[in-house]
Amino acid sequence: MTTVRTMAQRSLAIVVTVLLFVGGWTLVLQPLYGLPVTAIERLNDTRFELARLQALASESGDLTADDVDRLEQSVAPLIFSSPKDGAAFVAAVDSLIRSANVQLLELRTADPTKVANLTRFTIDVRMTASEEALIGLLIAAERHRPLLLIERAVVTTTASMIDNSSTPVSAELRVSAFAGKNDQPSEGEARAR
């Protein structure tokens, strides 16, 4: 009886030791083993970005002030005129949705973010629509000026959609636009001067 008990205790000790080793590897050593791999990948990504930026800098080093002005003027129709145009962006997306005959379920705006000299506006939209109405909305968004970017589009259908093309689809869109810096003072700033 004591030999069975001793064997059971030894087996339990071996199982606990193996579990400790496996747990130690999983929780401590494996993440430490992966850190150098992650660091090497980040270093390679950074080197690639540096090489790309150096190539861009060497190409753009020959730009004159007139070239920069010409580039800004060519981009101006594609962006909203002021970083304070968030309401105009929301109104543009809202008018597209209303004109496309889709049923709006949710419209969420995100805080504007700075990207270089531009301000980025973003809206998440959830809706249901027929395929034709959704395609019409996407075409209208593509033709819209200032430019509206659809960064993400998730369209889901029901199983019966295969049988009936008039069944509405659910769509989630992330729409973004950019605004440039406004060199013109606003009316309030002009009065303050």
Q: Taking the complete model, does pTM exceed 0.75, yes or no?
A: no
Residue 101 CA, chain-centre distance (Å), reads 26
Q: Domain range for residue 31?
A: 1-62
Verify that 56 and 84 share a domain, yes or no: no
Q: Identify the pLDDT of residue 168.
A: 85
Q: Identify the pLDDT of residue 162.
A: 58
Domain membership of residue 69 (yes or no) is: no
Verify that 90 and 152 share a domain, yes or no: yes
Torsion angle of alpha carbons 86, 121, 126, 95, nearest 10°? 40
Residues of the chain with pLDDT under 70: 1, 60-61, 63, 158-166, 181-193
Q: Identify the pLDDT of residue 161.
A: 53
Verify that 30 and 104 share a domain, yes or no: no
Q: Identify the pLDDT of residue 163.
A: 57
How confident is the model over 7-42, as pLDDT tens digits?
Answer: 889 999 999 999 988 887 788 777 777 777 777 887
